[in-house]
Amino acid sequence: MPVEVNAEDPRWGDLPLDIEALATRAANAALGHLGHAPAEFEISLLACSDARIRGLNAQFRAQDKPTNVLSWPASDLAAEKAGTLPCPPDPGCPDDPEPLGDIALALETCLREATQAHRPLADHVTHLLVHSVLHLLGYDHENDDDALLMERTETAILETLGIPDPYAGGSGAPDQPGEILVPPLGKDR
């Protein structure tokens, strides 16, 4: 699975985790769980600061505040009926993988949320990455039926990775991923 990681904020390299390995593991697990060959797709990940993601959140979602993660799907794969599976992506091939889209992940917010939830940072980041890959694949949480499908899918994928259900306990916060789905970036990424 080609995951292109741009660790724009060098502090990601100071953490006791390998963001590239986590991103690859999360993407492979999500795609594999859904029956897609990971080698046929690529994802770009921007590992950035809260300041950077705040600017992106303001630009693309008109919300002048940091968030944990943002996703830009390359294609609209959303299901037409709430609570049903999204359309499958058109695969590429290992020599020419199909772009699924872009993800941006905010350092300070991830650290704060993991600490507040008393969860290992690697587990929290993996959850956010799985959540974002599902957004790239057309999943969303805009209504109750879609949210339930997405949460169940996330939980099943995380279970294959040995990560406990992040939604257990009912509140969802602060581990609940923020509103993530934003319009595709277009060709100039």
The answer to the question of residue 182 being in a domain is no
Q: Has residue 177 been placed in a domain?
A: no
Task: Confirm whether 151 is domain-assigned.
Answer: yes
**Separation CA 132–CA 26 (nearest Å):** 10
Share of the chain above pLDDT 90, in %: 86
Does the pLDDT of residue 180 top 50, yes or no? no
Record the tokens describing residue 183, joined without a space: 């319009």
Task: Report pLDDT for 1.
Answer: 62
pTM comes to: 0.90
H-run or E-run covering 26: helix 19-33
Confidence at residue 59, expressed as pLDDT on a 0 to 100 scale? 95
| Residue ranges making up the domain that contains 66 | 3-160
178 located within any domain: no
- Distance of alpha carbon 68 from alpha carbon 77, whole angstroms: 23
**How high does pLDDT run on average in the chain?**
89
- What domain count does the chain have? 1
pLDDT cut 70: percent of the chain above it: 88
Q: What is the pLDDT of residues 105-156, one digit of tens each?
A: 999 999 999 999 999 999 999 999 999 999 999 999 989 999 999 999 999 9
CATH number of the structural domain spanning residue 139: 3.40.390.30
